[in-house]
Structure 1
Amino acid sequence: MHQIGGHKLLNFASHIDDNTIEQAKETAAMPFVHPHVALMPDAHSGKGSAVGTVIPTIDAVIPAAVGVDIGCGMIAARTVYTESDLAGRNLADLREEIERAIPLSPGNYNANIDRFEFTRDRLADLEASARAENIDLSHSPKWREQLGSLGGGNHFIELCLDEQQRVWMFLHSGSRGVGNKIAQKHIKIAQRLCKSWWIELPNPDLAYLPQSTPEFSCYIRELHWAQRFALQNRAEMMDRFRTVFAAWMGVDANGAADIEVDRVNCHHNYTQKEQHGGRDVWLTRKGAVDAHEGVRAIIPGSMGTRSYIVRGKGNAAGLCSAPHGAGRRFSRTEARRRFTADDLAARMQGIEYRHGAEWVDEIPDAYKDIDQVMADAADLVEVEHQLRQVLNVKGT
């Protein structure tokens, strides 16, 4: 960890590019940042603020820093099984069952919302919360059909083994289209307001909403609802995953819940009220997890590399945060230019996955070395479990 001279900026990444540093400097220069911005070990350049940036702000929030996938994060569940229980079973069949239970890729939603009994209670919870908080969802008439869908990009579902060869279910997703619509709406409002107030910004994606305005209050209400949706979305998909995995293992639906013994569900794109530097702040973790002392979180690698279940150390300099993954080395365009489907197949040797050129931009070589990221994060978290995947399902 070192301070970037002359800026309220601490950097925990040993490998970081100049553009990411410049983006972080712009963010750290905003007048309401306190006590400093922290760059996580996986930090890389993003839209507006760098991904892997932790931003504490007093009486203001930057909607574009939270990003368009509000509440994006990870969920992991340990099962009663070990590697030996998988012997002789066809992982391709399980992958196909997962793909039938969980809609994949952007724009793909559930054809109906009553296939699984547990979906009903989650929708009722979200509907009641939306009514109570007066959340405007008119922009997303199909938000109910989005619950339990994966999305695209680097969103994924995996079956993993830990250091004791115990079987884990693992997935990455967020608030889907409804969260995107909420984010886009408030980013535009913040930009319009800052322009009307003649506020000069380093870039338009640092437009902010002051806490004293009704627009801020509306954003926080809708943001918290989207974060709730994201948590429920991951839980919904995990319950579906568990259902089909149990059936694949020969357990009927009534016994599916009994195969799970541990679960962690955490955001890595979100804002919440916390205390840092002796002040109440809105802490935005854009590509970072909560690492307060004892808090459990998930740090995934890329497809074909290790992932980690961790516990926070409560590092004040790191704003009680930790990295959210490996972090990209190459853009998607550059990865497609450099690598082929054959390169991906070689890197995924021994792992069941959907073959094809459309996943080349997710090849492990397009990401930072997860071992280096975790070494850089040694002061932020301690490792509880180390996972390696045996099956991977990607959104496109």
Structure 2
Amino acid sequence: MNGKHITKLGFQKKAVGLALAAAQIRGQAGLGQAEILGELRGVLAAPSEYGGSVYAELAAELLAQQEQERRGQSAPLRDSPLPYSVWGADLIEPGATAQMDMAMRLPVARAGALMPDAHVGYGLPIGGVLATEGAVIPYGVGVDIGCSMMLSVYPLPADLKAAEARQLLLKHTRFGAGVSFEKRERQDHEVLHDPAWQDQALLKYLHAKAAEQIGTSGSGNHFAEFGSFRLAQPDLGLEAGEYLALLTHSGSRGFGAQVAGHFTRVAEQRHKRLDPAAKKLAWLDLDTEEGQAYWQAMTLAGRYALANHEQIHGRLARALGVTPLLNVSNSHNLAWKQQVGDRELVVHRKGATPAEAGRLGLIPGSMADPGYLVRGRGHAAALASASHGAGRQLGRKAAERSLVKGDVQRYLEQRGITLIGGGVDEAPQAYKRIEDVLARQSDLVETVGEFMPRVVRMDTGSQDI
């Protein structure tokens, strides 16, 4: 008897080897091939009845496979979405609301909220907050896992010359797909030595690229900005006044994007029967090997994203010859295990800032508009969240079609902005007004300080400004 005989009966994967091993034992006991095949058919038909026999290990594997298949056959979507709270509904496009409605129909969904900067994304809308039970959604976190903000406030006056700021950013930051510092310029970081890199074949494969790109930023809306930070009243151990500051927006580079793509495909395979309209909301149960693997990779990508910020801020602080008075950071593309009512749920914030009571966070505007240091109020209906920025009012292609380069340049000049790189798709006019967005969420956060950009570096866009 060989594997072909076993496979023809309908056994799959690990069960084939276990069936062969059991068949060998039965053959040694004097049974013929026909009798053994008959017994194997019985085990395949009713594995729960063979727990105390020579087929016990095979039966256990079959039951495990059945459970896995059962989970893959997703429960149907709810007929209507669970109720959720919305902030700034007048600022949110209908497509983003429709995506949130779909997310709230998932059988694993338990609570949600939509922030005033919300706009259409893949699966969960950007600005969507979704709490699930026992499951994580790769596209509920997003492609740029761990995308985050960091602010450093320096003991220096806010009058750094634009030419000097420009040279500092050109020398100490790197932007764009696939970019890295020269090998001799790269710096080590403890995140690159995390044992988790060796736990998965995918992470082993991505480690070299992550090490090569450490301390750099991607394209799109990632930036590094020198500007002035204004504190209206004493707080955080600082006197009221204006300070030189650095604000950065960066993520987990190609490492996080490849993790997101891989596990999204895994989730979609597990939920082939999920309504096609919810395809990008396919989830992984956290008590499965795949779910645990994603959680580990996501957590590592989040740490790696913050490591990139730490190196950017470290390089520039050393170049300035100062130690920051204040350093604040937060991720806004991640999932957290969070107590919601009497249950621990998985809270996905895809383009949303954690805003637990007393927690500091950063909400930027655009390259020519202020950003804000905020303190969370811990609003329960918002799942202790706030917006992650101003939010787009024009998609990238729409911005490139409708905005005139000369008009954008004049807008920047009028506001005293020096821009390095950046495309029309990232023009201030492509974004909602940050003041409007903040006004819609005064019950979610309080404003602590204001950052005004002066010299901005981004990757080059398809239509450079």
TM-score (norm 2): 0.76
Q: 1:247-274: CA deviations, max 9, x gaps?
A: xxxxxxxxx3x43110001100001110
Matched, 1:67 2:138: no
Check the 8 A contact 1:301/1:370 in 2, yes or no. yes
Q: How far has the Cα of 1:325 moved from its partner? A: 0.1
- Distance in 1, matches of 2:323 and 2:292, equals 42
Question: How far apart are residue 234 of structure 1 and its match?
Answer: 1.0
After the TM superposition, which of the residue ranges 308-317 and 156-165 deviates more from structure 2?
156-165
Give the secondary structure class of the aligned counterpart of 1:395. Answer: coil
**What's the counterpart of residue 250 of structure 1?**
none
Please state if 1:199 is matched with 2:274: yes
RMSD: 1.7
Q: Identify the residue that residue 261 of structure 2 maps to in structure 1.
A: 184
Match of 1:289 in 2: 353
Greater helix fraction, Structure 1 or Structure 2: 2
SS of 1:30's partner is coil
Query: Residues 57 and 6 (structure 1 numbering): CA distance in 2 closer, same or farther, change over 3 Å?
Result: closer
Higher-Rg structure is 2
Normalised to the residue count of structure 1, the TM-score between the two structures is: 0.89
Q: Cα offset for 1:343?
A: 1.6
- Look up the match of 1:115: 185
- The amino acid that maps onto 2:258 is K
Looking at structure 2, the residues matched to 208 and 373 of structure 1 have their Cα atoms a distance apart, in angstroms, of 30
Q: State the alpha-carbon separation in 1 of the partners of residues 379 and 81 from structure 2.
A: 22
Aligned letter for 1:175?
A: S
Deviation sequence 1:103-136 (CA, Å, 0-9, x none): 2111211221x426xx32x1x4322343575572
Structure-2 separation of matches of 1:127 and 1:9: 41
SS at match of 1:378: coil
Task: For 1:178 and 1:92, locate their aligned partners in 2 and report how far apart those are by CA, in whole Å.
Answer: 33
Aligned pairs for 1:85-164 within 5 A: 85-86=159-160, 89=161, 91-112=162-183, 114-115=184-185, 119-120=187-188, 122=189, 124-131=190-197, 134=200, 136-139=203-206, 141-163=208-230, 164=241
Name the SS for the 2:109 alignment partner: coil
Distance 1:7 1:274 in 2: 19
Q: Does 1:25 align with 2:92?
A: no
Gaps of 5+ in 1: 247-255
Aligned to 1:16: 92
Query: In 1, distance between residues paired with 2:81 and 2:204?
Result: 44
Structure 2: gaps of 5 or more residues: 1-79, 231-240, 461-465
Of the structure 1 ranges 141-150 and 290-299, higher mean CA displacement relative to structure 2 is found in 141-150
- Contact between 1:310 and 1:383, CA under 8 Å: does it hold in 2? yes
Q: Distance in 2 between matches of 1:131 and 1:192?
A: 24
Identity among equivalent pairs (%): 33
Higher relative contact order by CA 8 Å / sep ≥ 6: 1 or 2? 1
258-267 or 175-184, larger mean C-alpha shift:
258-267
Instruction: Return the alpha-carbon distance in structure 2 between the equivalents of residues 105 and 64 of structure 1.
Output: 23
| Aligned twin of 2:234 | none
In structure 1, the residue matched to 2:420 is: 354
Measured in 2, the distance between the counterparts of 1:276 and 1:160 equals 38
Deviation at 1:212, TM superposition (A): 2.3
The answer to whether the Cα contact below 8 Å between 1:201 and 1:207 also exists between their aligned partners in 2 is no
**In structure 1, distance between residues paired with 2:425 and 2:328:** 28
1:169 corresponds to which residue?
Answer: 246
Secondary structure at the residue paired with 2:116? strand
Q: Deviations over 1:34-68 (max 9, x none)?
A: 1x210011011111111000010000111011111
Query: Can you list the C-alpha shifts for 1:176-217, whole angstroms capped at 9, x where unaligned?
Result: 01111111110110001111xx33353310111012211001
Equivalent residues, number:
367
Change over 3 Å in CA distance of 1:344–1:129 after alignment to 2: farther
